[in-house]
Amino acid sequence: MKQIITTSLLCLVCIFLSNCEKSTNPYPDFPEGRWGTATAKLNGNEWKATCKSFIDKENPGHWSLSFAVHKNNYYYLGSLSFYNVTVQTDSSDVTKDISFKEKEGVRGYYSLFDADLALGDYHILNEAEPNYFTVDSYDSVSREIKGRFEVTFLVNHAPDSNAPDTVRFTEGKFHARLDE
């Protein structure tokens, strides 16, 4: 009797395991509309974000990359954005955010949010510090882009009275997919 029960249980386990399907999605789950990750040290503390890319319709061959921290996969807490990015594997200095219409050089800014309400922003770069955005690789088939960054911002509009006047992103790395 013991042997019949053991054999029956083994058969049930085999049937159960054979009905399990493997996921064919090679990518991790991200919040809707986002694919990719970024990591850095934000003022010395570990920082992780997801990525969203936007093509610049007025400047073909250029993208904006937004690295955002979310709460519950939805509410924005903070967003580090670079725009005027190309897929060329090189390093670019990140310069002051003069205008979205500027066509030269990578621009950057950092904003803090409460859900979708902007609390403050840091978009004037401290040019005394190293500020760079480097594309290390780009795969034209998968449209995946990988690179590094380091930027220092000065406060433009403080989110609260205790906010720092300087925000430093060091040891930044990203892996994203560019939208068409």
For 62, 158, 159, 165, 166, the CA distances from 162, given in Å and listed in that order, are: 36, 8, 8, 9, 12
pTM over 0.85: no
pLDDT at position 57 is 80
Q: Are 109 and 100 in contact (CB under 8 A)?
A: no
3-state secondary structure of 9: helix
Specify the higher pLDDT residue, 152 or 95: 152
Kindly state the average pLDDT of the residues 72-101. 76
Nearest of 107, 120, 127 to residue 165 by alpha carbon:
120
Domain boundaries, the chain: 34-177
pLDDT digits (tens, 9 = 90+) for 34-68: 788 999 999 999 999 988 888 888 788 888 888 88
Residue, of 15 and 175, whose pLDDT is higher: 175
pLDDT for 99: 58
Model confidence at 13: pLDDT above 50: no
The predicted structure's pLDDT at residue 105: 77
- pLDDT, one tens digit per residue, over 118-173 is 788 888 777 788 899 999 999 989 989 999 999 999 988 888 888 899 999 999 99
Confidence at residue 77, expressed as pLDDT on a 0 to 100 scale:
79
Maximum mean pLDDT: which of 11-20, 68-77, 114-123: 114-123
Please report which confidence band the pLDDT of residue 2 belongs to, taking 50, 70 and 90 as the band edges: low
Contact 30, 66 (CB under 8 A): no
Q: Which pLDDT score, from 0 to 100, does residue 26 have?
A: 43
